[in-house]
Amino acid sequence: MADYRDSPLYTDRQKLAIEYAQRFALDQRHLGLRFFERLRSHFSDQEIVELTVLLARFLGFGRFTKILGLDEICELPHDGR
């Protein structure tokens, strides 16, 4: 998703949500007022809370599975293809 910023496949709103997800996961200390002003120009406060909760859940679950090694020992179901 490195090139999402220049992709015509995403709206400005979607690009901002992707940026938020990346920054939330990798650079959360630098999510300042300016960034949240940008978020609020595209999302309501309720939507920002919902996005944040989902990001926290997905990130937390990913870390949970990694810490317990579940990503290595659990085999995904095979759909027969």
Q: What is the pLDDT of residue 72?
A: 76
Q: What is the pLDDT of residue 70?
A: 80
Q: If residue 57 lies in a helix (H) or strand (E), which one and from where to where?
A: helix 45-67
Q: What is the pTM of this model?
A: 0.76
Q: What is the pLDDT of residue 54?
A: 95
Residue type, 60: G
Rg (CA), the chain: 16
| pLDDT digits (tens), the chain, 81 positions | 668 888 999 999 999 999 999 999 998 888 899 999 999 999 999 999 999 999 999 888 888 888 888 877 766 666 655
User: Contact 15/5 with Cβ under 8 angstroms?
Assistant: yes
